[in-house]
Amino acid sequence: MSETPRETLRLVVAGHVDHGKSTVVGRLLADTGALPKGRLERVEAYCRLNSKPFEFAFLLDALKDEQRQGITIEAARGFFKTARRDYAVVDAPGHSELLRNMISGASRADAAFLVLDVRDPAAGNARRHAYLLSFLGLRQVLVLVNKMDLAGYSEQAFRRAVREHGSFLDSIGVEAAGFIPISGRHGDNLAAASSRMPWYAGPTALSALDALGAPAPALSGPFRMPVQDVYGLGEGRGRAFVGTVESGSLAVGDEVIFYPSGKSGRVKSFEEFPASARAEVCAGMAAAFSLAEPPAVERGELAARPGQRPPLVAARFQARLLWLGVEPLTSGKDYVLKLGAARTAVRLEKAGRVLDSSSLAAKAGAAQVERNQVADCVLRAEAAVAFDAGARFVIVDNHRVCGGGFVEKL
Amino acid sequence: MRDPLDVLEARSVFILREAYAGFKNLAMLWSIGKDSTVLLHLARKAFLGRVPFPLIHIDTSFKIPEMIAYRDRLAREWGLTLLVGRNDAALARKETFPDGAVDRLACCGLLKTQALKDVIAGGPRWRLDLETGAYEPDASREPFTGIVAGIRADEEGSRSKERYFSPRGSAQRWDLGEQPPELWTQYNVDFPPGTHVRVHPLLDWREVDVWDYIRREKIPTVSLYYDQGEGRRYRSLGCQPCTSPVASTARDPEEIVAELRTGRLKDVAERSGRAQDAEDGGTLEDLRREGYM
């Protein structure tokens, strides 16, 4: 193909219910020519038939319940492109009952649009979503101050929203990449610059988005590969240790150490189908390697290289976690911890400081962690696991993922 | 910058390996179409040449004959474990759309959804004998706990709302309002007894990515996807009575990629040739809630 490959950036659109997220996304899809022929017309016909005013949001809110209730229930994906790159966009629900769906979409994003109603920039979920974006470590956040049409495209109203929400973002350590006055309904400053706000000289939402950085795998840094599995290669050909490389690189002839067991081996070859003569793998690749004199290692260990910073190995660690379970997270009960490729029983040792993700009111010394609370807690696993500071984990209870977070320190 | 196809491939391989490590009874749906054939190729990559779980093909008996010949040939060439499920009761009663007994959606519900649910739950199924090429009743009747399917988010509305690992409840229903959280790539493989999980490794792929990957990897696909000189080809393959070709002169994957990027199909919906979608209000939501792929 003559066309050079284009990078894809994953974008999540967050904000309070009814502040216009789905409208913004629908409008972006329409204005960037991402909609198939007839799609807009079909939605218009649907609205006429059901005596509803036309909404760009209906392009995303595809479910029957969503259209009936006029809200987004489940995060929807869409795709659009600019001259610079391709985008995969997730339209997250703003309703507080549906935080788990917002978090699911946001946890995989490279950048976020935080959509605010200019008339109500301090609304509960505008703050909660901003806080959760920062909890997830999302650093590239563009604030879209929406519904400028309903505020007479007033500079004063925009400045007030920027002031109110900006000071809140400062207080939670989020540095917005920009504040942009928009109207999702009329398309002002989304794909095209608006003539109705001559006082605004900044970029449109799309050009601000194009100016953000693309995701890059951690090529530098120590080699890390959680062992996903070990496959037999057939008679006399040994075994392959498989997994996706999280950081660094590994070459034929390199020594590998597995943690927590401390077992080691030397890379004989990389195994691929169809067969290849690959000499090195690096961050982001799904790899498989065989070892000379392979040790008995199972799924769950972390592959690293000697001479580089070793991972931590511990059964007890401090973590910051968000709890989404209906039942609170309590001490004295067994849960399942999934960290890297490891899976082990885990208990809450101490809840510590607990923060309500909506009011952001903190409480020290809580006995348990309630739904939608973020806790700085101590977890104790049944078996030692290997990880780096900042590692992501989830907790499973009763067959469901009920929470997740980051390892802070030992 | 990494090639976006490499990014998509690595993500899908990771998901396939998680599914294989997580589910004791895993199977993969193979519709013979381009998406699930890409998925099959990815599985051969993930598991280094062999596919360590069965493929399930739901045969409605109304598939285009070339698809069936291609299915059996590839299965024998690649040494695949191929299981075929079919709703024989509905076919015997002629309870189908082509027989004029039911509408398109009800036909999909009976010949695809019900047949699939029966195979997943451990109902009768046929296994391809790779030596003889004949189909024999499968000796195993174990239910499946993990089902890999090649759906993509950009196909239609309800699929854009899917999880990578999507639990199905009792009676195999998809409870869209109650989907559990799915954080980062820590996928959940836990499920209560009597339920199963649908696994969707291709969720992030767009139609053009699929074709670009078929081109790059030289994946064999049925000739129905290509213009044979008559100025039309199938863009999406289903049952003969409910699928129609589109006007196109693309003769190979490279020409299809060009047609999707800048040519006449760049703004035409992929499933516009699939009649059952239109009957469900442009989405497959109702069918998919009941267990459709």
Per-domain boundaries in chain B: 4-205+281-289, 208-277
Burial class (CB in 10 A: 0-12, 13-18, 19+), A53: exposed
Of residues A162, A55, A77, the one with CA closest to residue A118: A162
Q: Identify residue A341 by its one-letter amino acid code.
A: A
Of residues B248, B220, B222, B243, the one with CA closest to residue B233: B248
Q: Which residues of chain A have pLDDT under 70?
A: 1-5, 60-63, 67-68, 70-75, 94, 96-97
Instruction: Count how many domains chain A has.
Output: 3
Cα–Cα distance for residue pair A334/A330, rounded to 1 Å = 9
Element (H, E) at A347: strand A342-356
A204 and A236 share one domain: no
Which residues on neighbouring strands pair with residue A158, listed in sequence order?
Answer: none
Measured between CB atoms, which of B167, B184, B203 is closest to A107? B184
A300 and A318 share one domain: no
CA distances from A141 to A91, A338, B222 (A): 15, 28, 45
A171 and A295 share one domain: no
Q: Could you list the residue range(s) of the whole structural domain that residue A238 is in?
A: 225-304
A398 and A290 share one domain: no
Of residues B283, B247, B106, the one with CA closest to residue A42: B283
The answer to whether position A258 is within a domain reads yes
Residue B80 pLDDT more than 70?
yes
**What pLDDT shows up at residue A234?**
86
In contact, B112 and B60? CB cutoff 8 Å:
yes
The answer to whether position A2 is within a domain reads no
A399 and A341 share one domain: yes
Q: Which residue of A has its CA nearest to B41?
A: A273
CA distances from A348 to A323, A373, A403, B131 (A): 12, 14, 12, 56
Query: Quick check: A400 and B188 CB within 8 A?
Result: yes
In contact, A219 and A174? CB cutoff 8 Å:
no
CATH of the domain at A111: 3.40.50.300
Query: Quick check: A76 and B161 CB within 8 A?
Result: yes
Quote ipTM for the complex.
0.93
The domain boundary residue, chosen from A304, A335, A359: A304
Q: Identify residue B222 by its one-letter amino acid code.
A: V
pLDDT band at B283 (very low <50, low <70, confident <90, very high): low
The answer to whether position A215 is within a domain reads no
Query: Quick check: A228 and B14 CB within 8 A?
Result: yes
Q: Which residue of A has its CA nearest to B257?
A: A1
Q: What is the pLDDT of residues A244-256, one digit of tens each?
A: 999 999 999 999 9
Q: Which residue of A has its CA nearest to B206?
A: A79
Cα–Cα distance for residue pair A399/A407, rounded to 1 Å = 22
pLDDT band at B156 (very low <50, low <70, confident <90, very high): confident
The verdict on B45 touching A (C-beta cutoff 8 Å) is yes
Residues of chain B numbered 145-174 and touching chain A (CB < 8 Å): 153-154, 156-158, 160-161, 163, 167
In contact, B171 and B163? CB cutoff 8 Å:
no
Query: Quick check: A286 and B269 CB within 8 A?
Result: no
The answer to whether position A218 is within a domain reads no
A189 and A250 share one domain: no
Cα–Cα distance for residue pair A218/A224, rounded to 1 Å = 10
Interface test with A, best of B12, B155, B182 (most A CBs within 10 A): B182
Lowest-confidence range among A5-9, B161-165, B228-232?
A: A5-9
CA of A155, closest CA in chain B: separation in Å? 37
Tokens of B58: 């739901």
**What pLDDT shows up at residue A2?**
41
Query: Quick check: B14 and A244 CB within 8 A?
Result: yes
A174 and A29 share one domain: yes
The verdict on B189 touching A (C-beta cutoff 8 Å) is no
Q: How many CB atoms lie within 10 A of CB A29?
A: 22
The verdict on B249 touching A (C-beta cutoff 8 Å) is no
In contact, B228 and B39? CB cutoff 8 Å:
no
A243 neighbourhood in chain B, CB within 8 Å: 17
A276 and A152 share one domain: no
Element (H, E) at A65: helix A64-69
CATH of the domain at A286: 2.40.30.10
Question: Which residues touch A172 (CB under 8 Å, ≥6 apart)?
Answer: A130, A131, A134, A360
Half-sphere exposure of A319 (CA within 13 A, CB side): 31
A272 neighbourhood in chain B, CB within 8 Å: 45, 48
Topology at the third CATH level for domain B4-205+281-289: Rossmann fold (3.40.50)
The verdict on B285 touching A (C-beta cutoff 8 Å) is yes
The answer to whether position A217 is within a domain reads no
**What pLDDT shows up at residue A18?**
82
Q: Identify residue A268 by its one-letter amino acid code.
A: K
Cα–Cα distance for residue pair B278/B293, rounded to 1 Å = 17
CA of B94, closest CA in chain A: separation in Å? 31
Cα–Cα distance for residue pair B93/B84, rounded to 1 Å = 20
Cα–Cα distance for residue pair A75/A94, rounded to 1 Å = 10
Query: Quick check: A74 and B157 CB within 8 A?
Result: no
Strands B146-148 and A400-409 turn out to be unpaired
Which residues on neighbouring strands pair with residue A181, listed in sequence order?
Answer: A145
**What pLDDT shows up at residue A142?**
96
Measured between CB atoms, which of A1, A274, A288 is closest to B257? A1
Lowest-confidence range among A94-98, B74-78, B152-156, B207-211?
A: A94-98
Of residues A385, A393, A318, A372, the one with CA closest to residue A348: A318
Strands A342-356 and A362-363 turn out to be antiparallel
Interface test with B, best of A2, A6, A8, A60 (most B CBs within 10 A): A8
Tokens of B191: 């499920």
Dihedral over alpha carbons B189, B193, B198, B199 (to 10 degrees): 20
* Percent of chain B residues topping a pLDDT of 90: 67
The answer to whether position A68 is within a domain reads yes
**What pLDDT shows up at residue A136?**
92
Residue B278 pLDDT more than 60?
yes
A139 and A264 share one domain: no
The answer to whether position A324 is within a domain reads yes
Alpha-helical (H) ranges within A138-278 are 155-171, 205-210
The answer to whether position A220 is within a domain reads no
Residues of chain B numbered 6-25 and touching chain A (CB < 8 Å): 6-7, 9-10, 13-14, 17-18, 20-21
Q: Which residue of B has its CA nearest to A58?
A: B157
Measured between CB atoms, which of A63, A399, A402 is closest to B192? A399
The domain boundary residue, chosen from A164, A183, A210: A210
**What pLDDT shows up at residue A98?**
78
Question: Which residues touch B63 (CB under 8 Å, ≥6 apart)?
Answer: B32, B239, B240
A174 and A242 share one domain: no
The whole-model pTM stands at: 0.94
Interface size between A and B, measured as CB pairs under 8 A: 160
Measured between CB atoms, which of B153, B191, B215 is closest to A77? B153
Cα–Cα distance for residue pair B233/B270, rounded to 1 Å = 12
Measured between CB atoms, which of A108, A284, A338 is closest to B10? A284
A297 and A318 share one domain: no
A115 and A150 share one domain: yes
Residues of chain B numbered 254-283 and touching chain A (CB < 8 Å): 254, 257, 261, 267-270, 272, 281-283
Measured between CB atoms, which of B157, B182, B183 is closest to A62? B157
CA of B290, closest CA in chain A: separation in Å? 14
B44 neighbourhood in chain A, CB within 8 Å: 273
Q: What are phi and psi of B17, to 5 degrees?
A: -70, -35
Element (H, E) at B281: none
CA distances from B1 to A5, A288, A340 (A): 9, 22, 25
Q: What are phi and psi of A382, to 5 degrees?
A: -70, -40
**What pLDDT shows up at residue B280?**
58
